[in-house]
Structure 1
Amino acid sequence: MASQPKTKGQQSSTHEEDTSKKASDNNGDNGELSQKLESLKSALEGDLTVVPSDAALSLVEEWYELLHKAKEPELKEVATHLRQLKQLIKSNKATGHEISEVLTEIGEQTANFAADANKEIKTPIRQLGKQLTKAGNSLGKAEDQEQIEEIDSLIEILEEDLTQVDNETTLGGVDKWYNLLHKSEDENLQQIANGIKELKQLLKRSNPKPADISNVLGRLGEQTTAVGQEAKRGFKGPIQRLGKLLTKTAKSLEE
């Protein structure tokens, strides 16, 4: 039997039901998103340097799955950077600064997207953007501090009477120094890393000649002092002190 056309009142009622359903769906979506936002914000409140890589990867993957199918170009861009972050974490070779840069970029994009977000989630998204940026900056600063401490530990070794320092301690300090620099794309730092590698090989010999060690240390001292002059704030002083101490140590071995 043919269906009867709906009356005007029935059509109005159906429209209201559809509108109500859409609003309910949107509220449900926003509610789920709000919960995820709170979960992510809580995770970012801790010290990111001690978060296990598998936990960090799981969190990033969850957000990538949530955003990479989005229609909004801004969210697609965030998803692209989340994919990049996933690759960095998976590599287990990324520096804190590399992760910091991506996190900061995601934070800025998230904060920008907040301007066009629904009223219910506008504020949480803006807060999340700020928190991501802050987390990225703190991660970069934490790595800077760690590197400065490694430079200071090397300075402490060089300030000792090297004839009284056991070879294992010296090699450990040199290894830290090499690991700090050999991945750098900076040509000057690569030259220093090559010199450190040469120094490691000398120190591993059973009877290294002081003159050979002095020659390498003198060259490293000059290169390190030159790099220190161009170093960013916080690094300039420690690197210049290290350069001067390397030069001084080289001269003392000549005597």
Structure 2
Amino acid sequence: MNVPCVLVFAGLDPGGGAGLAADVLAIAAQGAHALPVATALTVQDNNRVHDVAPVDAALVLRQAEALTAACAIGAVKIGIPGSRANAHAIAGLLRRLRAADPDLPIVLDPVLASGHGDALCADDALAGVADLLALATIALPNEPEACDLGGLDGIACPHLLVTGGHGEGSFVVNRWYRDGVLARRWRWPRLAGQFHGSGCTLAAALAGRLALGEGMLQALGAAQAYCHAALTQSFAIAPGQRIPRRFLQPAR
């Protein structure tokens, strides 16, 4: 039997901590296979993003169309589009995929900037994310991103997981909203230090679980448990933010 595939749109982090590198490992750890489409090349290390060069939108589309013509897509995971033009091209492809499979899970990690506030889009990051929000099955903003996107009233997704990693206190509280109504909270012990690519890890793991056919509640629980384990076992490649150890067995 074929392994379920996740079509991934994200940028290339040459430090291997976030973006496509993180997505490939996190999806593989769930038992699915990533189909990574590069939306941007970045100049970054484990702490800062120094430059972003978006891939041409036509080339982004050609990458994805070659994959979708050959492979059955079990889920889609979207990170940074790199530019508004790329977001528009991705949205058009997603509409075509949804026409063939109305239930296709689309997981959006609405990254507006790096953890240090460095730009991750060549133009208007908020406008690019807005083009994709309307198509997403679930978006996973952190609390500052949720505010920038207009809060619960401004994020029109069937499912929303607002992550609490940027808060304070002994626990990280993640809140799942279904059709705008709070459905469940999860509490995870807050870990010391900072981590590079934690949001990518969580969103990619969730996409992998959904591609395997799990329901949203089960997939959310398993993806969060996997992400927390990856952060607990994180490692250093240089001073500053640590890298999640993503090649772990998924939670069962």
- Same fold at TM > 0.5: no
- TM-score, normalized by length of structure 2? 0.21
- Name whichever structure is richer in helix by fraction: 1
Q: Which has a greater percent of strand?
A: 2
Of structures 1 and 2, the one with the larger relative CO (CA 8 A, separation 6+) is 2
Q: Give me the TM-score of the superposition, normalised by structure 1.
A: 0.20
